[in-house]
Amino acid sequence: QDVALGPYRHYMQKEIFEQPRALADTLEGVAGIVPELFDDHGIRSRAAWRVFAEIDRVLILACGTSHYAGCVARYWLEAIAGVPTVVEIASEYRYRTSVADPRTLVVVVSQSGETADTLAALRHAQALGMRQTLAICNVATSAMVRECELAYVTRAGAEIGVASTKAFTTQLAALFLLTLVLAQAKGRLTAEDEARHLRALRHLPAALQAVLALEPQVIRWAEDFAGKEHALFLGRGPHYPIALEGALKLKEISYIHAEGYPAGELKHGPLALVTGAMPVVTVAPNDALLEKLKSNMQEVRARGGVLYVLADADTRIASGEGLHVIRMPEHYGDLSPILHAVPLQLLAYHTACLRGTDVDKPRNLAKSVTVE
């Protein structure tokens, strides 16, 4: 047993449980929503406030789990900051002919800061004349931090498990702060909004701790999943990328084929696959889309599908025949995607353990992909 693991069986489990600490550290010192947060402690040449005033759109480039963090951020950036945002997979962006707009803030999101495709996409954007760049990275000394004008270094600490967990939730926290700073720069953030969002951010570590306490219920779900070969994950709005991330986690470490889908697309394809043999996980917080999501869930039940629903404290859905509900302790508002990611990490982790796979080093995958 590795001493660094302490009471945990795997690094992934340790890193999942470190998330309250990782978020508290990442948000430490965030007393107000000030652009200087992105100045990387004065190392960079440009002041963040000037960069943020000069841009009127955002382009997020990333790979894997970091790409899904970007996909969540797009919902925040457009809804809260009113800034048009595009999120692109780095390996696609770097090789296609695209239209560059110099008034774009290019944001690279990367745990390692060294992923070859993301770094090449950054350089490609710079070569196209986009000079306003921001790195959201977990490694302060990484190439991306060095090569961007601005940086926000998450303080998740070293992440050993190949499947990213604490890096993802801290990236989301950083991207939420970016949203607030841009909202402020664009004159869209009232003092009350700022105070409310800061309160919610400060509460995040405690909220996350309470979500981790749901582990025994997630283990019961994992016992059902361990014998399956396919799973579907559904979400809507900012929880759609969380469904994608839930599916990615499960496939990476348990080798169960899993797909994430926006729930509204169910009827355009995946519904044909639904049988009792393919569990359907649904991320269902009580938001504006809940009623629509409930009718998507009906479509699954009507075809004999078995639902595993993550509901929040305000969602009125009860467990029943073919419907398993885990209730999250609170209703989380804008930060809800961060909290809903965690039970899905635990589901992937425990399913993989039951299947006996090499959780921290899944076959064929690497922690940091620095070659093409």
Interaction site with ligand G6P (CB under 6 A): 63-66, 110-112, 115, 118, 162-164, 365, 367-369
250: Cβ contacts below 8 Å, ≥ 6 apart = 225, 231, 233, 256, 258, 344, 347, 348, 351
267 carries an active-site annotation: no
- As a whole number of angstroms, the distance between CA 62 and CA 108 comes to 6
Task: Give the residues across from 61 on adjacent strands.
Answer: 88, 108
Q: Least distance (Å) from ligand G6P to the CB of residue 11?
A: 13
Cα distances from 66 to residues 70, 275, 281, in angstroms, run 6, 32, 21
User: What is the chain's percent helix, strand, coil content, to nearest 5?
Assistant: 50, 15, 35
Q: Which is nearer to ligand G6P, 63 or 311 (CB)?
A: 63
Q: Token pair for residue 276?
A: 């009792």
- As a whole number of angstroms, the distance between CA 119 and CA 113 comes to 8
Q: Which is nearer to ligand G6P, 355 or 367 (CB)?
A: 367
| Residue-by-residue DSSP string for 326-348 | EE-SS--GGGHHHHHHHHHHHHH
Nearest Cα neighbor of 145 from 43, 237, 66 is 43
Q: Token pair for residue 224?
A: 């059902």
Q: Least distance (Å) from ligand G6P to the CB of residue 89?
A: 11
- As a whole number of angstroms, the distance between CA 87 and CA 93 comes to 10
Q: Which is nearer to ligand G6P, 110 or 132 (CB)?
A: 110
Q: Which is nearer to ligand G6P, 113 or 205 (CB)?
A: 113
Q: Least distance (Å) from ligand G6P to the CB of residue 213?
A: 25
Q: Least distance (Å) from ligand G6P to the CB of residue 78?
A: 23
Q: Which is nearer to ligand G6P, 45 or 364 (CB)?
A: 364
Q: Least distance (Å) from ligand G6P to the CB of residue 84?
A: 24
- Which residues belong to the active site? 367
